[in-house]
Amino acid sequence: MKYTPSRTEWAATVPADAGFDPAGLADAIAFHQANETPWPHDIDAHIKIGHFEPPPWNEIIGPTRERTGPNGIVLRGGRIVAEWGDTARADMTFSVTKSYLALVCGLAVDDGLISDIDRPVGEIVKDGGFDSAQNRPITWRHLLEQTSEWEGELFGKPDMVDRNRNLATEGAGQAKGTFRALQPPGAYWEYNDVRVNRLSLSLLRVFKRAVPAVAKERIMDPIGASDAWEWHGYRTSEVEESGKKITSVSGGGHWGGGLFIPTRDHARVGLMVANHGRWGDRRIISEDWIRRCATPSKINASYGLLFWLNTDGTQTPSAPRSSVFMLGAGSNIVWIDRDHDLVAVVRWIAKDAFDGFARRVLAALR
């Protein structure tokens, strides 16, 4: 059985014993530290200046937190090989949160609460969000693959804010938020936040409880995560379900909210995914669901079920094509490389620098 850390003890090994050239791995870490994200530490101010979208759609409706500096961790065989910066601080992680939603959705599938992700969401979620002609055909897969084309307003943010979104030019005055005619569900891929939040609300409806409570009980506590992580929604996202008031959490941090989490906890989740949904002798999520998350969608070969893939090498050219990523703005990155038995978490690196980091890590392997 592969090594698995306990809640209180996490074995560390020196780079040479893990198959690394120590100087080469140190160079990768120094490269990260020298290529910090240009984002200011004041995340609140960064959102307010319109980095993601212009006023009035940039209004912050959830909590934010000032970020820390570059930090990260490299695991090989589950053991800590290198660690730098403050890896215990719960920082905002933006769209890495989306991959956590995929994992919670996997629990619903494993439990039989969702019998088939290719069935319309509206068959079991009866809150009006899937009643229109545009939204009625939307399946769980569409939401998970970001091809839903869901139309409407949720928690004060209209779906229009995500139309014409281009990740390559985000923050550079792009056409995001301008009109684009919607396509049939499943026909068009577009990275989004409003529709992902609609998935999160739908999972709340299915479990009939708060999504973070499910994640804590079924994923985070069993893998020994800390008590420092938090998962927030918005001041506008409280809903009623089964007679209870519950906050629906967000899948990102564009307007505040989302997952605030230490790097070490990200590394545990990444290790669980690397081990095909197992934690030691305990099954957390089915192997089949982990495989489906890393299966390329028909429209976007670089995207699975809320996980980024390296199928054609465009995500990270220097990494193996089998690599799987949990990615968030900033940049916040969980890199899962089963080919080399590696999990790396890299926080607050310049967007165009991660490939250089990955290249240096792999070059350090002997």
Please work out, in degrees rounded to the nearest 5, the angle formed at the alpha carbon of residue 296 by the alpha carbons of 292 and 300: 140
Q: What is the pTM assigned to this prediction? A: 0.97
State pLDDT tens for residues 29-53: 999 999 999 999 999 999 998 888 8
Sheet containing 91-92: order of strands = 91-92, 258-261, 230-241, 244-249
State pLDDT tens for residues 135-193: 999 999 999 999 999 999 999 999 999 998 877 666 655 678 788 999 999 999 999 99
- Under DSSP, the state recorded for 188 is -
The CA distance from 50 to 108, in Å, is 36
State pLDDT tens for residues 261-271: 999 999 999 99
Residue pair 68/348 in contact (Cβ under 8 Å)? The answer is yes
Residue-range domain boundaries for the chain? 15-97+253-363
The CA distance from 198 to 138, in Å, is 11
The CA distance from 175 to 195, in Å, is 18
Residue pair 93/258 in contact (Cβ under 8 Å)? The answer is yes
Residue pair 93/71 in contact (Cβ under 8 Å)? The answer is no
- The 3-state DSSP class for residue 52 equals coil
Helix H, strand E, coil C: the string for 295-330 is CCCCCCCCECCCCEECCCCCCCCCCCCCCEEEEECC
CATH number belonging to domain 15-97+253-363: 3.40.710
- In tens digits, what is the pLDDT along the chain, a chain of 366 residues? 789 999 999 999 999 999 999 999 999 999 999 999 999 999 999 999 888 888 888 999 999 999 999 999 999 999 999 999 999 999 999 999 999 999 999 999 999 999 999 999 999 999 999 999 999 999 999 999 999 999 999 999 999 999 988 776 666 556 787 889 999 999 999 999 999 999 999 999 999 999 999 999 999 999 999 999 999 999 999 999 999 999 999 999 999 999 999 999 999 999 999 999 999 999 999 999 999 999 999 999 999 999 999 999 999 999 999 999 999 999 999 999 999 999 999 999 999 999 999 999 999 999
